[in-house]
Amino acid sequence: MASLILFTGKGGVGKSTISAATATHWANEGMRTILVSSDPAHSTDDTLGITVGAEPVEVAPNFWAKNINAEAMAQRWADDINQELEKSMSKWFPGFDPALLSETAMFPGMDEVFALEEILRLVQSCDYDLVVFDTAPTGHTLKALAAPDHIKTFLLRILRMKKKIESAKNFFLKKGETSQIEKTLEEICERVDRVKELLRQPDFVQVNLVAIAAEAGLQECARTIRYLEMMDIPVANVIVNNLIPNLGEETWVSAATNRAAALVKCEYDIQQPYISQFRTLVNQHECHLVGVPRLPFEPRGDKLMDYAPLIWNAAGIVGTPRPSVLVHDDEEVVSLEINVPFLKLATWKRNNLSYRMFEYNFGDESLWYEIPVPPILEDIKPSRRGNVLTFEKPVIEIEVEVGDETDV
């Protein structure tokens, strides 16, 4: 299973740039990395300097990118729900105008729900070591996580309406006419709950907030941290972007006669109280604070190589993603480690090592995740500790096998 690094925040604070730089950094470190964006603005294309579509596009060695058209996915789902509602309503109320249902199924955050579902599929597979998720603006993401509450409220209204109609005198309603609607809505709630369960796994998932040193950025960040904490989803890093660096006393003194220096000094002074408040905020919520300076260049395309070290350094974003499959080959043993959260829920195939978790496959029984196992370890029965499955074989046994093959 791949690790997930997620970035969220207000629109325009630099999520896409930081996400692209993160993917660039870890791809250069040798991790098979995919950058995924669900932002309707699709800033990924501009940041990378290439066209990114719905299918993964290879950007560089170990680096792929794709956009998720979450709105279209949500609309297709809403259309199906509305068709079911129309069928039921026309039987309940002959002559009912179905146009009144046109927006019934578009619950707040439904577009991001489907984006999170796609992320979960990518993370569960072993196709990549790391998934970097550039989310839509914070509000979309939080509404997606709260979608089950809205859906369950709506579902309760449907069931109450159905009960009243069924009890009406001389009204005949076949049982099960709303069962498909109920099932579909309940499945969506289960999917979001499974996503939230995954986001609570800090060994596999890192949630980061991106903000700017301004009142709106501070308040949005504080609200998001509190909201995620209510869901038991930990925030690893708060990244404050576009900070004016301290240019030194000589520059600040020149601000008295230099208008350009005065403008920069003014913005520097405005940011300082907010930086102090961000420090207080992260200390209260046990997050790590990362400051990113304003740059003398536009961090896009090839320049991401220069930008990445500014956020992934000793004082930068904390947390090292773990590859889904680790192969160790030393003088004494050859071993393979596979990291899979909720390992106890997995069903395994031994002939060609693959696994599935029906509860996490959204009802798709055919969806198996294959794991690349070196031929030398294929006959080894793995051991399990927590979420780690380990295949291990002493080098001495391998040497004997090779010798036997040579004799033959």
Give DSSP secondary structure letters for 374-390.
-GGGTTPPPEEETTEEE
- Considering the domain boundaries, does residue 196 fall inside one? yes
Distance, in Å, from the CA atom of 148 to the CA atom of 15, rounded to the nearest integer, reads 26
> In what side-by-side order are the strands of the sheet with 333-339?
325-329, 333-339, 388-394, 383-385
pLDDT at residue 395 is higher than 80: no
Q: How many domains does the chain have?
A: 2
pLDDT at residue 173 is higher than 50: no
Name the range with the highest mean pLDDT among 41-55, 134-148, 208-222.
208-222
Q: Are residues 66 and 109 in the same domain?
A: yes
- Considering the domain boundaries, does residue 15 fall inside one? yes
The Cα-based distances of 107 to 40, 74, 336 in angstroms read 17, 9, 44
- DSSP 8-class letter at 358: G
Q: Are residues 306 and 333 in the same domain?
A: no
Least confident residue range of 68-77, 108-117, 374-383: 374-383
Amino acid at 94: P
Q: Are residues 7 and 65 in the same domain?
A: yes
Predicted local distance difference test score (pLDDT) of residue 405: 45
Top pLDDT among 149 and 260 is at 260
Top pLDDT among 139 and 14 is at 14
pLDDT at residue 172 is higher than 50: no
pLDDT at residue 258 is higher than 90: yes
Top pLDDT among 296 and 325 is at 296
Q: Domain range holding 245? A: 3-71+105-311
Residues for the chain: how many in total? 408
Mean pLDDT for all residues in the chain: 78
Distance, in Å, from the CA atom of 251 to the CA atom of 221, rounded to the nearest integer, reads 32
pLDDT at residue 268 is higher than 70: yes
pLDDT at residue 363 is higher than 60: no
Taking the CA atoms of the chain, what radius of gyration do you get in angstroms? 26
Does the CA dihedral 192-197-198-199 come out positive or negative? Answer: positive
**Average pLDDT of the residues in 370-383:** 68
Top pLDDT among 83 and 228 is at 228
pLDDT at residue 168 is higher than 60: no
Q: Are residues 266 and 403 in the same domain?
A: no
Confidence of residue 402 (pLDDT cuts 50, 70, 90): very low
Residue where a domain terminates, one of 279, 311, 343? 311
Q: Are residues 182 and 264 in the same domain?
A: yes
Top pLDDT among 102 and 138 is at 138
Long-range contacts, stretch 25-30, CB < 8 angstroms, 24+ apart: 25/308, 25/309, 25/311, 25/312, 26/129, 26/130, 26/132, 26/321, 27/59, 27/60, 27/61, 27/62, 27/63, 28/62, 28/305, 28/308, 30/62
CB proximity list for 62: less than 8 A, separation 6 or greater? 27, 28, 30, 31, 32, 33
Listed in order, strand segments (DSSP E) in 330-371 are: 333-339, 347-349, 354-356, 369-370
- Considering the domain boundaries, does residue 381 fall inside one? yes
Question: Residues 281, 238: contact at Cβ < 8 Å?
Answer: yes
- Considering the domain boundaries, does residue 23 fall inside one? yes
pLDDT at residue 96 is higher than 70: no
**Average pLDDT of the residues in 19-44:** 88
Q: Are residues 341 and 306 in the same domain?
A: no
Does the CA dihedral 210-216-219-223 come out positive or negative? Answer: negative
Q: Are residues 224 and 332 in the same domain?
A: no
**Average pLDDT of the residues in 215-230:** 93
Q: Are residues 212 and 329 in the same domain?
A: no
pLDDT at residue 350 is higher than 80: no
- Considering the domain boundaries, does residue 86 fall inside one? no
Q: Are residues 355 and 281 in the same domain?
A: no
Listed in order, strand segments (DSSP E) in 251-362 are: 288-293, 325-329, 333-339, 347-349, 354-356
- Considering the domain boundaries, does residue 306 fall inside one? yes
Top pLDDT among 342 and 302 is at 302
Confidence of residue 304 (pLDDT cuts 50, 70, 90): very high
pLDDT at residue 5 is higher than 60: yes
Burial class (CB in 10 A: 0-12, 13-18, 19+), 103: exposed
Closest CA to 114 of 186, 182, 191: 191
**Average pLDDT of the residues in 37-45:** 78
Q: Are residues 274 and 306 in the same domain?
A: yes
pLDDT at residue 235 is higher than 80: yes
Confidence of residue 408 (pLDDT cuts 50, 70, 90): very low
Q: What is the CATH number of the domain that holds 137?
A: 3.40.50.300
Name the range with the highest mean pLDDT among 107-111, 176-180, 308-312, 320-324.
308-312
Predicted local distance difference test score (pLDDT) of residue 169: 45
With 0.85 as the threshold, say if the pTM is over it: no
Top pLDDT among 400 and 138 is at 138
pLDDT at residue 392 is higher than 90: no
The predicted-structure confidence for 42-95, as pLDDT tens digits, reads as follows 678 889 988 888 889 999 999 999 998 877 777 777 777 777 766 666 666 666
Distance, in Å, from the CA atom of 29 to the CA atom of 133, rounded to the nearest integer, reads 18
Top pLDDT among 165 and 155 is at 155
Question: Residues 201, 123: contact at Cβ < 8 Å?
Answer: no
Reading the block at residue 292, the tokens are 């990113």
Predicted local distance difference test score (pLDDT) of residue 362: 47
Residue where a domain terminates, one of 311, 339, 366? 311
Residue where a domain terminates, one of 311, 337, 362? 311
Q: Are residues 242 and 270 in the same domain?
A: yes
- Considering the domain boundaries, does residue 115 fall inside one? yes
Distance, in Å, from the CA atom of 121 to the CA atom of 203, rounded to the nearest integer, reads 18
Distance, in Å, from the CA atom of 89 to the CA atom of 161, rounded to the nearest integer, reads 10
Q: Are residues 331 and 306 in the same domain?
A: no
Distance, in Å, from the CA atom of 11 to the CA atom of 159, rounded to the nearest integer, reads 38
Q: Report the 10 Å Cβ neighbour count for 188.
A: 22
Confidence of residue 213 (pLDDT cuts 50, 70, 90): very high
